[in-house]
Chains A and B, each alone.
Chain A
Amino acid sequence: GESVGLHLPTLSVQEGDNSIINCAYSNSASDYFIWYKQESGKGPQFIIDIRSNMDKRQGQRVTVLLNKTVKHLSLQIAATQPGDSAVYFCAENTAGNKLTFGGGTRVLVKP
Chain B
Amino acid sequence: DVKVTQSSRYLVKRTGEKVFLECVQDMDHENMFWYRQDPGLGLRLIYFSYDVKMKEKGDIPEGYSVSREKKERFSLILESASTNQTSMYLCASSLSGILAKNIQYFGAGTRLSVL
* Mask of A83-111 contacts with B, CB within 8 angstroms, 1/0: 00000010101001111011110000000
B101-A49 in contact (CB<8A): yes
B108-A42 in contact (CB<8A): yes
- Known A-B contacts A49-B103, A93-B102, A97-B48; the reply to A42 vs B109 at CB < 8 A is yes
Contact of A7 among B33, B39, B88, B96 (CB under 8 A): B39
Interface of A is mostly: loop
Q: Closest approach, in angstroms, between the C-beta of A63 and any C-beta of chain B?
A: 18
User: Across the A-B interface, how many residue pairs have beta carbons closer than 8 Å?
Assistant: 64
Question: Can you list 17 contacts pairing A with B, beta carbon distance less than 8 Å?
Answer: A2-B88, A6-B39, A32-B102, A36-B106, A41-B108, A42-B108, A43-B108, A44-B43, A44-B106, A49-B101, A91-B104, A97-B96, A98-B33, A98-B45, A98-B48, A99-B102, A103-B42
